[in-house]
Amino acid sequence: MTDAGGAYLWLAAGSFEAPAGAIASVVAEPLDGGDPLRLAAWPEHARPAGVRVAKVAAGFVSPDGAPAVVSLVLAPRGVRVPFDDQAVIGARRAALTYWPWRALSTLVRGDSEFAGAVSAVSPGTPSPLDPFARIVPARLLAVPAGLVGQMTPPAGPVLERYGSAKPWPLDRF
Amino acid sequence: MSDGLRPALQPGARVPDLELPDHNGSVRRLSELVAGDPTLLAFSRGWWCPKEQTFFRGLVRLQEELEVGYARFVTVSVDPPEVQAAFRAGLGARWTFLSDADRVYLDALELREVADTLHDPYVPACATLRPDLTVHRGYNGYYFWGRPTLEEIRADFREITSAIRSDYEPPR
């Protein structure tokens, strides 16, 4: 089980070809019946070109991860929400109050832009309400093995990011 | 006059790296929960004690400051995880509660409340910790007024933070 403190990765979600240099890459099926979606992750030092990415806590991703149901909140192009917007803070508070997930990470673009969030439970587990879906609507995805890891919940109650540019819940400098 | 503090909570003592289930039932280590931040470690009698309820409602008032202050609370009691979770939810607390229902550390820390043979709980006691789990200051909470005030907690966190953050003085 990986913890929340430490490095971040680059995560992309969308329609693109199998990427070079990714440490994990899977094709997920939206539960609403839409087109399949590729999810892929790259190391911090190897940001891919030509793919729209955001920072994700490294613990969310594991190439050995089991299948999961993922709630994907992804801010569309043109929607710029500051990471410290009260709505995002409120969602982080809600997540700390009740944490039923196998893994959860906010997504950060640049130093301070809220790009969304990914939260995962194991298949067959009731999907909890995604607090970040209050900000941007979420899509539920059936994600096969090979992407989603397992994270210990943050200790709380810290909501601030440890240094700019890190996705919460990374919990140390 | 003795401060009533057990040796384990005297300034400079090192608290063991407790390994206990949290309020969700997941086993956690104290060092993982502290993770480089100043921490208030609060040993609690349990949810049923009115003094604990009052004290923890005070901590909840402070938790918004901890949200931005890179500091933490950790609570330990003999309540089982599901009781911890209910107490935590009722308070509106957003920090980790550890369950020592098996009383693993009670005697090692000399914190068994021998006068309460019904609940066999922890003696209420607190310590502000540095990131390496050494005690900055301990508080004997057997009587309510022995617990730290919110101002004392703030002062302790300031002292620890100024000592551990290399950039406490802003760069010029």
Domain boundaries, chain A: 8-143
Which fold does the domain B24-164 belong to in CATH? Glutaredoxin (3.40.30)
Q: Which residue has the tokens 């005070």?
A: B58
The complex's ipTM works out to 0.86
Q: Residue A54 region, left (φ>0) first, then alpha (ψ -120 to 50), else beta?
A: beta
Identify which of B93, B96, B14, B84 has the alpha carbon closest to the alpha carbon of residue B45. B84
User: Which A residues, 107 through 146, put their C-beta within 8 Å of a C-beta on chain B?
Assistant: none
In 3D space, the residue among B158, B165, B126 whose CA is nearest the CA of residue B144 turns out to be B126
Joined together, the tokens standing for residue A58 give 């490294």
Residues B29-36 have a mean pLDDT of 96
Interface test with A, best of B23, B28, B65, B94 (most A CBs within 10 A): B94
- Full-model pTM: 0.91
Q: Where are the domains of chain B?
A: 24-164
User: What average pLDDT is seen over chain A?
Assistant: 92
Measure the CA–CA gap between A144 and A66, rounded to whole angstroms. Answer: 7
A93/B37 Cβ within 8 A: no
**pLDDT tens for each residue of B116-153:** 999 999 999 999 999 999 999 999 999 999 999 999 99
| Assigned token pair, B113 | 């409340």
Task: List CB contacts (< 8 A) between B25 and chain A.
Answer: none
Name the DSSP letter for residue B35.
Answer: T
Question: A158–B63: do the CB atoms touch at under 8 Å?
Answer: no
User: A82 CB near a chain B CB, below 8 Å?
Assistant: no
pLDDT at A2 (0 to 100)? 43
**Residue A106 to chain B, least CA–CA distance (Å):** 16
CA closest to A160 among chain B residues: B68
